[in-house]
Amino acid sequence: MNILRSMLFVPGDSEKKMAKAASVGADALILDLEDSVAAQRRPLAREMSLAYLKGADRSNGELWVRMNPLDSADALLDLVAVVAGRPDGIALPKCEGPHHVLQLSNYLEVLETQYGIPVGSIGITAIATETAAAPFTLGQYKGAPRVRILTWGAEDLGAALGASSNKDEHGNYTPPYVLARSLCLFGAYAAGVQALDTVQPDFRASDKLLRECNEGRRDGFLGKIAIHPDQVAVINEAFTPSAAEIAHAQAVINAFATNPEAGTLSLEGKMIDKPHLKQAERVMAIAKQAEARR
């Protein structure tokens, strides 16, 4: 699995912001055709996004597009416009379950065939908690075609629920959003895809961002979405294993390599077993990918 530590939203109708985004070090850019683009500018955003997809240097990171929801009049217009540019993936907002993923996958297959793109090469990020119905399907994504990433959104969910706020007086998510976040995390691992944490909308508050990154990584998220270029470096550093973590992971791997028939071992005065080995292998894989991007 190609782990994306950071995915940066970029308005699809802003040449200036797209040009700047290319240099900030995000593992992926998401050219946005949905929330950050006014309805009357969406035709222009499609044209600009297609031009960017065709001309950008892909060695700097992956290029994704956030389309409009499947039940909107813009959905097929978005896909027909941008698939010719061979995006690495489509971010699907308001996704209510695997049936939406299958519908999008079918559309993509037709367009890949039309444009001579290898069928199945365009991935899907399911933004899977933005409606009241969506959280009920988060355990059902295993085997859903093309899904690489499962992520969640608190802002749209709050709007769907008519909530006055999604956070308490201390700035922590209230129980409905903690539940959505947790189910997204469980659902991603159950499906064998990457779990990506949601945005921190206060882009000037680097302390809040770092706290959310550390909490997300602690819990099992492998990356986070950014809404501002200044957030990318913080996210990348937080989701990159430290030298001490790499050294410990290598020691765990070495211990089991030396004792291949052991179920449990002692390392640095503590007992380790196969789950520790699995986590160590994950740490090393993430570290290797991070090093390759430098």
pLDDT the model gives residue 260: 86
> What whole-number distance in Å separates Cα of residue 57 and Cα of residue 236?
20
pLDDT the model gives residue 241: 94
pLDDT the model gives residue 276: 92
Is the distance from CB of 20 to CB of 43 less than 8 angstroms? Answer: no
Question: Which ranges of the chain have pLDDT less than 70?
Answer: none
Q: Looking at the domain assignment, is residue 77 inside a domain? A: yes
CATH number at residue 39: 3.20.20.60
Q: What angle do CA 64, 69, 74 make, to 5 degrees?
A: 90
Same domain, yes or no: 223 and 264: no
pLDDT the model gives residue 240: 95
Q: Looking at the domain assignment, is residue 19 inside a domain? A: yes
pLDDT the model gives residue 234: 97
pLDDT the model gives residue 213: 97
pLDDT the model gives residue 195: 98
pLDDT the model gives residue 131: 97
Last residue of a domain, one of 221, 238, 255: 238
Same domain, yes or no: 137 and 64: yes
Same domain, yes or no: 156 and 217: yes
> Rounded to an integer, what is the distance from CA 148 to the centroid of its chain?
8
pLDDT the model gives residue 120: 97
Same domain, yes or no: 45 and 191: yes
Same domain, yes or no: 170 and 204: yes
Structure tokens at 288: 């290797």
Q: Looking at the domain assignment, is residue 206 inside a domain? A: yes
In Å, how far are 58, 174, 195 from 217, measured between CA atoms? Answer: 27, 20, 10
Same domain, yes or no: 200 and 253: no
Q: Looking at the domain assignment, is residue 1 inside a domain? A: no
Cβ atoms within 10 A of the Cβ of 164, count? 6
Domain interval for residue 207: 6-238
pLDDT the model gives residue 204: 85
Last residue of a domain, one of 192, 223, 238: 238
Number of domains in the chain: 2
Is the distance from CB of 196 to CB of 223 less than 8 angstroms? Answer: yes
Same domain, yes or no: 160 and 200: yes
Same domain, yes or no: 162 and 284: no
pLDDT the model gives residue 279: 92
